[in-house]
Chains A and B, each alone.
Chain A
Amino acid sequence: MFDLDRWREIFQTINKNKLRTLLAGFTVTLGILIFTILFGMGNGLKNTFYESFQDDAQNTIFIYPGFAKKPFKGFKENRRIEFKNEDLELLKEKFGDRIEYITARISDGVTVKYKSEYGNYTVRAVHPSHQYLEQTDIEKGRYINENDIKNDARVAVIGRLVEEDLFGRDNAVGKYFTLNKIVYRVIGVFSDIGSGDREERNIYTPVTTQQLIYKNTDKIDQINLSYNMSIGASGARRLSKDIEKLLKNKHNIAPSDQNGIYIESVIEDLEQTLQFANVLQIIVFFIGFGTLLAGVIGISNIMVYIVKERTKELGIRKALGAKPSAVIGMILQETVVITMIFGYIGLLIGNFILKSMGRKLEDWFITNPNVSQGIIIFATVTLVLAGLIAGYIPARRAAKVKPIVALRDE
């Protein structure tokens, strides 16, 4: 392997037989190219899944009321379940030690107006904790605080794109605008990298303010909370169950009723989706592996052909004193070198294609397709192995060449 003369021999043969080498290497380049692109795409798909979960803190649990489908304790079926402030207070009271952040959320579509500009947006009435759960980044001003809640303050935190739409170049913070004709003051502007455009067109107001405007109701649409990380994934599952039990009991929903209350946990969704992504990537890996194998078989075939073509040369070498091991080593190393060179070409082209595709494929759920550094090392090892496997049969053939047969004059 580290015999400099051997390398010279090999590079001379490769150099003097370019077309032949090109032919042999082509299948490998193609195989690796397809492998790289498929694998990169697989990664891209996985990235999309990851990003879609970056939207929210990963220890978040969402709780929605639904419809009780079953009659229970004298209550009729098809009852609409509604949450009120007391539900949130109850959760705080019972599970406070396991909850990190908790917030109510009421969502409404509103018409927003500032001077002559107006548009339709979603307002979310929330507690201050919402900022942490949604992972909202304040760009200017501040988020809703406890004082706003206490005072039913008519203040709003608007998304970056709301500011862009309505305020243009102006700094929205401190300005007054109307939500369904009621005047609010902008106290902050936020961005949300994880969630993207839609989230950045939302407006947040204190939950109490919104409840006051809706004729003194204390209803809430949804409760979001995050659990203490210290309880772990299994603790989170148990917490979900406990919450479900408590709320079903309070709202007189049959324990077996699946539709009364919905509890969604990011961690479980994430686990499921990542599992799906992993399966997908394994499939992609096998397809890629198949193409790589096709490349190996291709180069192996061509090397067998090359050995046949070089029978005479190999016979001469043997007559001059080449040991079988020298011939085997030569053919093996030659195959490995060709495989490596053309494999890397495939890898480079594949990487280049992936890079140039970049974000263009986001519509197809592929984000930032790439192959990692680790994969490149893996690919090198694979290529060497592939070369060795591909070279095995031709090298054996070469070793079996009998000089007396090879040198017979036709």
Chain B
Amino acid sequence: MIQIKELHKSYRMGSNHLHVLKGINLDIKEGEFVSIMGSSGSGKSTLLNIIGMLDEAEKGSYILDDVPIKNLSEKKAAIYRNKFLGFIFQSFNLINYKNAAENVALPLYYQGVPRKIRKEKSLYYLEKVGLADWAHHLPSELSGGQKQRVAIARALASEPKVLLADEPTGALDTKTSYEVMDFLQGINDEGKTILVVTHEPDIADMTKRIVMLKDGVIEEDKVVEQVRASQYV
């Protein structure tokens, strides 16, 4: 699903040159559930953003679902993001004046899906995350966990190949974090490929593979015994 070879990324800050990713090699197959770990500033988000086509690598190759991702125009990037990827963010990033259902329907709107189908799909995915009764509530009327579940429903609505989540539990308490992980595990069980950035070991243990970043390279890449979140909720 994802093939990354010798990926480099650096940031220029005035005269300083910050080499963040120094040759990343990563292969992720369909249906995997991968967590990316590492200390703060190790480049986890940078890597995820490149995979999410929100940012571009300097050197190296990146192939997503057999499509080489290179020198994309903004338009192409938007289309690919819309088609291939679903995003989940630490701070939810819901649009505050749209209710839950409208937020979930937004990627479908940009896919050109007719309004009626958008409505059906958004309700379907809200139900999947257990929020059918909250469809017409604004984000401000939802708890943190509920907001993140709306965000998960939104990420799922466009039926992406890969879910990308940057610290999806970073803003949540432990119990709610496990609830969210429970959802993600359920989605992964259905075959969806998921990448999660986290620095919480217990969250990483709930995935199936942990990639450790350090000083811009992958220090460790191990398959782990998945801890089921359901036993904690």
Residues of A within 8 A of B (CB): 4-5, 9, 12-13, 16-17, 312-313, 315-326, 399, 402-404, 407, 409
Give B225 Cβ to nearest chain A Cβ, in Å. Answer: 32
Q: Is the CB of B93 within 8 A of A407?
A: yes
Q: Which 4 A-B pairs have the closest CB atoms?
A: A321-B82, A16-B97, A321-B110, A404-B54
Contacts of A5 in B (CB 8 A): 109, 115
Query: Which residue, A17, A315, A320, has most C-beta atoms of chain B within 10 A?
Result: A320
Residues A403 and B98 in contact in the complex (CB < 8 Å), given A312-B93, A319-B81, A323-B78: no
Whether the pair A321, B97 counts as a contact (CB closer than 8 A) is: no
Kindly identify, within residues 93 to 130 of chain B, every residue whose CB is under 8 Å from any CB belonging to chain A.
93-98, 102, 106-107, 109-111, 115
Contact of B110 among A13, A322, A399, A409 (CB under 8 A): A322
Report which residue of A313, A317, A403 has the largest number of chain B beta carbons within 10 angstroms of its beta carbon: A403
Residue pairs across A and B with Cβ atoms less than 8 A apart, 5 shown, are A313-B95, A316-B95, A321-B107, A407-B93, A409-B89
Residues of chain A with a CB closer than 8 A to B75's CB: 323-325
Distance A322 CA – B109 CA, assembled complex (angstroms): 9
Q: When the two chains form the complex, which single residue of A4, A13, A312, A322 contacts B78, counting CB atoms closer than 8 Å?
A: A322
Chain B interface residue count, Cβ-Cβ cutoff 8 angstroms: 30
Contacts of B58 in A (CB 8 A): none
Cα distance A404–B46 in the bound complex, in angstroms:
10
User: Would you call A321 and B154 a contact (CB within 8 A)?
Assistant: no
User: In this complex, which of A9, A12, A16, A321 has the most chain B Cβ atoms within 10 angstroms of its Cβ?
Assistant: A321
Shortest Cβ distance from B87 into A: residue = A319
**B188 interface hit (Cβ, 8 Å):** no
- Which of these, A4, A16, A317, A325, contacts B106 with CB under 8 Å? A317
Specify which chain A residues have a CB less than 8 angstroms from the CB of B55 in the assembled complex.
404
Q: Does B25 contact A (CB under 8 A)?
A: no
B78 and A407 within 8 A (CB):
no
Tell me the minimal C-beta distance from B128 to chain A in angstroms. 18
Once the chains are docked, how many angstroms separate the CA of A316 from the CA of B155? 12
**Min C-beta distance of A203 to chain B, whole Å:** 77
Contact B87 A12 (CB under 8 A): no
Q: Which residues from chain A contact B82 at a C-beta distance below 8 Å? A: 320-321
- One of B90, B93, B111, B158 near A316 (C-beta < 8 A): B93
- With A5-B109, A13-B97, A17-B97 known as contacts, the answer to whether A320 contacts B81 (CB < 8 A) is yes
| Among candidates A12, A320, A409, residue contacting B97 with C-beta atoms closer than 8 Å | A12
Interface residues of B in 47-100 (CB under 8 A from A): 49, 52, 54-55, 74-75, 78-79, 81-83, 87, 89-91, 93-98
**Chain B residues within 8 Å of A, Cβ to Cβ:** 49, 52, 54-55, 74-75, 78-79, 81-83, 87, 89-91, 93-98, 102, 106-107, 109-111, 115, 154, 158
Give B76's nearest chain A residue, CB to CB: A323
Check B78–A324 contact: CB distance below 8 A.
Answer: yes
Closest to B46 in A: A404
| Pair B90/A409 contact, Cβ less than 8 Å | yes
Min distance, Cβ A410 to any Cβ of chain B, angstroms: 9
- Verify B49–A404 contact, CB threshold 8 A: yes
Residues on the B chain within 8 Å of A9, using CB: 109
Given contacts A12-B102, A318-B78, A404-B54, 7 further A-B contacts (CB under 8 A): A4-B115, A12-B98, A13-B97, A320-B81, A320-B107, A321-B81, A326-B110
Contacts of A399 in B (CB 8 A): 74
Q: A322 CA to B91 CA in the complex, in Å?
A: 20
| Of B52, B89, B90, B110, most A-chain CB atoms within 10 Å | B110
Q: Give chain B residues whose Cβ lies under 8 Å from the Cβ of A16.
A: 97
With A and B bound together, what is the CA distance between A118 and B161 in angstroms? 104
Distance A321 CA – B98 CA, assembled complex (angstroms): 17
Shortest Cβ distance from residue A10 to the other chain B in the assembled complex, whole angstroms: 13
Q: Which residues of B contact A326 (CB under 8 A)?
A: 110
Roughly how many angstroms separate A4 CA and B118 CA in the complex, as a whole number? 14
Q: Is the CB of B97 within 8 A of A323?
A: no
Q: In whole angstroms, how far apart are the Cα atoms of A409 and B90 in the complex?
A: 8
Say whether, besides A16-B97, A404-B54, A323 and B90 are in contact (CB < 8 Å): no
Alpha-carbon distance between A318 and B81 when the two chains are bound, in angstroms = 9
Taken together as a complex, chains A and B put the C-alpha atoms of A399 and B75 apart, in Å, by 11
B97: chain A residues at CB < 8 Å are: 12-13, 16-17
Cα-based distance from A318 to B74 in the complex (angstroms): 9
In the assembled complex, which residues on chain B have CB atoms less than 8 Å from the CB atom of A403? 54
- The complex places the Cα of A378 from the Cα of B158 at a distance, in Å, of 44
B19 to chain A, nearest CB (A): 18
- CB <8 Å contact, B74 and A324: yes
Which residues of A lie under 8 Å from residue B93 when comparing CB positions?
A: 312, 315-316, 319, 407
| Contact status B110-A323, CB under 8 Å | yes
Contacting residues, chain A, for B115 (C-beta < 8 A): 4-5
- Chain A residue nearest to B155 in the complex (CB): A320
Residues of B within 8 A of A324 (CB): 74-75, 78
Closest to B54 in A: A404
- CA A5 – CA B109 in complex, angstroms? 8
Residues on A with C-beta less than 8 A from B81 are 319-321
B54 — which chain A residues lie within 8 A by C-beta?
319, 402-404, 407
| Shortest Cβ distance from B73 into A: residue | A324
Q: Which residues of B contact A323 (CB under 8 A)?
A: 74-75, 78-79, 110
Taking the nearest CB of chain B, how far is it from the CB of A11, in angstroms? Answer: 12
A400 to chain B, nearest CB (A): 9
Q: How long is the Cα–Cα vector from A12 to B87 in the complex, in angstroms?
A: 24
Residues of B within 8 A of A12 (CB): 97-98, 102
